[in-house]
Chain A
Amino acid sequence: MGAREVHSGAVAELVVTARKWRTFADVVAFTLGVNVWVSIVILPAAFVGAMRGSMIVAALVPFAVLVLGLARRSEIILLGLFPSALLLPISLQPQLASSYVYGPIRFLLVGLGVIAYLFGVSFFTTFHEPPAPRSIRPLSSAQQGPPERWRRRERVYWILTAMSLVIPTVLITWVNFDQSVADFLGEMYPGRVALMTTALTAGAIVLWLAIYHYAFLGALRPHRTGDRDLVGVLAQARADAKAGKPRSRFYLAVGVALSAMLLLILLRHL
């Protein structure tokens, strides 16, 4: 067997493996995406009897976006545009997302479906199985296990993943199923409880995205750039703090707090 035959055999194996993965990822994304679409749009629309006129077109838009995302194999479309498109029919018929349509059990099932879709798409579209190696030679460093810094980093990733599930779930559950929130909305906006609940749910999602962008991605960015920026920032912080004095923002915060307290006292008692 010549060297060229060996090389072409390996390339062919690589192509077949990659094609299998792509097909598998497409099937997973399509199945989970359709599940999300049906459970968030189609079933609630049928339940409240809203499937007529322009609502049918609006209900089909997320499905079209899903198919487009699969055809282009675009993560932006599958992970960003498709979930956003699901809000289009809900914005036309806010009662689709009201707590009267979603009981706690159904909400849990739909939430699991959405999480499965997001995880499935983000994992399977980026993960590619390498071809089996022809030979394996263990390195001596592999016997010692992963170093502490990698284990620490992995722990951070797992915590961030867990928080990515817990924070939006708690926020949305609180908005939709806390009786005091429902009572308050009923008192403040009689006849528009479903609309206001949906608006609050959308607000909870926006709040979560802001938290994710500033707090979570902010923490992950230094990891992505190999800690170089983080090391620079830490060195600067250490150099600043060596002086043993707080930074100027400390004095600014004290001043702002005292001014706000004074203003509050003046407003309350004068």
Chain B
Amino acid sequence: MKLITKLLRRHFFEILAVCLIAGSLFFFKETLDYLARRDYIAALLVMVIGVAVISVGKEMARLALVQRD
């Protein structure tokens, strides 16, 4: 039971990490769109969101790796 919980937890962290890292690309694409519209403040804010989301994804990937050990 403990093993199954650990396995599920690991896959949950892995899927979450992939979703967050892939999802951060959306924010970077939005950054480019805002830059094309010359809305520099919005572009900067969305870029900060993208970097923050990718950091959260990285932490999730780290936790998934620990579950693997």
Contacts and interface: CB of A to CB of B under 8 A. Distances in A.
A250 B45 contact: no
Interface stretch (A30-38, A110-118, A254-262): A254-262
A259 to B, nearest CB: 9
A244 B12 CA distance: 14
| Residue from A247, A256, A260, A263 whose CB has the most chain B CB atoms within 10 Å | A260
A249 B51 CA distance: 12
A241 interface: yes
Q: How large is the interface on B (under 10, 10 to 19, 20 to 34, 35 or more residues)?
A: 10 to 19
Contact of B63 (A246, A254, A260, A268): A246
Given A238-B66, A238-B69, A264-B46, A250 B59 contact: yes
Interface in B4-57: 41-42, 45-46, 48-49, 52-53, 55-56
Contacts of B69: 238
A268 B66 contact: no
B59 A264 contact: no
Given A249-B55, A250-B56, A241 B62 contact: yes
Nearest to A184: B36
Contacts of B66: 238, 241-242, 244
A215 interface: no
A256 B48 contact: yes
Contacts of A260: 45-46, 48-49, 52
A38 B41 CA distance: 45
Nearest to A247: B59
Contacts of A256: 48-49, 52
A253 interface: yes
A257 B56 CA distance: 10
| Residue from B42, B49, B60, B65 whose CB has the most chain A CB atoms within 10 Å | B49
A1 interface: no
A254 B53 CA distance: 7
The 8 closest A-B pairs by CB, nearest first: A257-B52, A253-B55, A241-B66, A250-B59, A253-B52, A256-B52, A260-B48, A246-B59
Interface of A: 237-238, 241-242, 244, 246-247, 249-250, 253-254, 256-257, 260-261, 263-264, 267-268
14 contacts: A241-B65, A242-B66, A244-B66, A247-B59, A250-B55, A250-B56, A250-B59, A256-B49, A256-B52, A257-B56, A260-B45, A260-B48, A260-B52, A263-B45
